[in-house]
């Protein structure tokens, strides 16, 4: 990290301790709360569908005596809920990206008067540029494949290793030390993915260039500020996990068993309520840190 970057991070940290800045950030997040309920609900429904899928496929109570019809029924439920979960997740994230881009545009505005009108203006600007933003995220998703590809592999390994069905059949076994390394890798690549996404949202919110140019600028901005953005992203992940999904920390991200179906559903309802305000609020530190770079571009 260069001396200039250290100065930038230091000034941002001082601002984060400013009570008036925190009050404004919270106020802006509350203004966006009504617009975040729907995508948060969609994501909660997607996760509930996946919880039902895992619950159905991991039930080993009748594994030895299960009939072909019962097995086909389990597989049908699993496939249906999987596709439903994936579809709802894509729909939710599409809306979430629009909302977060509009929120970032609001936060970059220096005018603190009549914020309700500015919220509408930010949402309208994002809506008017939907095609450009769609192209941007399509191109930028190719950059995101860099951390997402290994992240997907590590999550798949963890899911298979935690599957009660495969454990019962002695098909998968991972030593504890390798499981620890696997979980560490998941954490690292999750942080990198979030840091890159924050940079993308920040650049996209300016709506000042073509989709290709903004995608390249976003990746370049991430590379230039990777360390600081990853530190911010790590703090954001930790805070969100503690508030929205404490069960992930307690269980280490292991798949839910059949008896955990109801708690799993309730956990997604809680995630919906908290993420509606927490996700916009979580974007504020990164936006503030990148403000100088965004003005320069």
Share above pLDDT 90 across residues of the chain, in percent, rounded to a whole number: 53
pLDDT of residue 141: 96
pLDDT tens track for 221-237: 999 999 999 999 999 99
Average pLDDT over residues 168-183: 68
pTM: 0.83
- pLDDT level of residue 111 (50, 70, 90 thresholds): confident
The average confidence (pLDDT) of the chain is 84
Half-sphere exposure of 194 (CA within 13 A, CB side): 22
Give the pLDDT confidence of 112-156 residue by residue, as tens digits: 778 899 999 999 999 999 999 999 999 999 999 999 999 999 888
What pLDDT, in 10s, does the model give residues 43-69?
Answer: 999 988 888 887 776 665 455 556 667
């Amino acid at each position: 990290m260069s001396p200039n970057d250290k100065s930038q991070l230091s000034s941002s940290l001082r601002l984060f301790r400013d009570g008036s800045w925190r009050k404004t950030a919270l106020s802006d997040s509350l203004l966006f709360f009504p617009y975040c309920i729907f995508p948060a609900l969609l994501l909660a429904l997607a996760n509930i569908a996946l919880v039902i899928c895992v619950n159905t496929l991991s039930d080993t109570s009748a594994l030895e005596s299960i009939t072909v019809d019962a097995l086909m029924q389990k597989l049908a439920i699993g496939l249906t809920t999987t596709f439903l979960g994936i579809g709802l997740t894509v729909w939710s994230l599409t809306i979430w990206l629009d909302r977060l881009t509009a929120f970032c545009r609001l936060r970059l505005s220096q005018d603190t008067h009549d914020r309700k009108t500015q919220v509408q203006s930010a949402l309208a600007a994002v809506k008017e540029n939907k095609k450009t933003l769609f192209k941007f995220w399509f191109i930028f998703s190719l950059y995101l494949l860099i951390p997402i590809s290994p992240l997907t592999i590590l999550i798949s390994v963890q899911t298979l290793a935690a599957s009660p069905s495969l454990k019962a059949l002695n098909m998968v076994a991972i030593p504890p030390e390798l499981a620890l390394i696997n979980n560490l890798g998941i954490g690292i690549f999750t942080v990198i993915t979030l840091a890159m996404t924050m940079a993308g949202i920040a650049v996209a919110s300016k709506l000042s260039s073509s989709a290709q140019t903004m995608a390249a600028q976003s990746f370049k901005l991430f590379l230039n500020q990777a360390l600081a953005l990853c530190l911010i992203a790590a703090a954001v992940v930790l805070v969100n996990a503690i508030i929205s999904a404490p069960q992930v920390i307690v269980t280490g991200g292991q798949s839910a068993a059949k008896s955990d179906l109801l708690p799993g559903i309730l956990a997604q309802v809680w995630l919906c309520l908290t993420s509606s305000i927490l996700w916009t609020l979580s974007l504020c530190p990164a936006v503030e840190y990148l403000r100088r770079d965004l003005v320069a571009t």
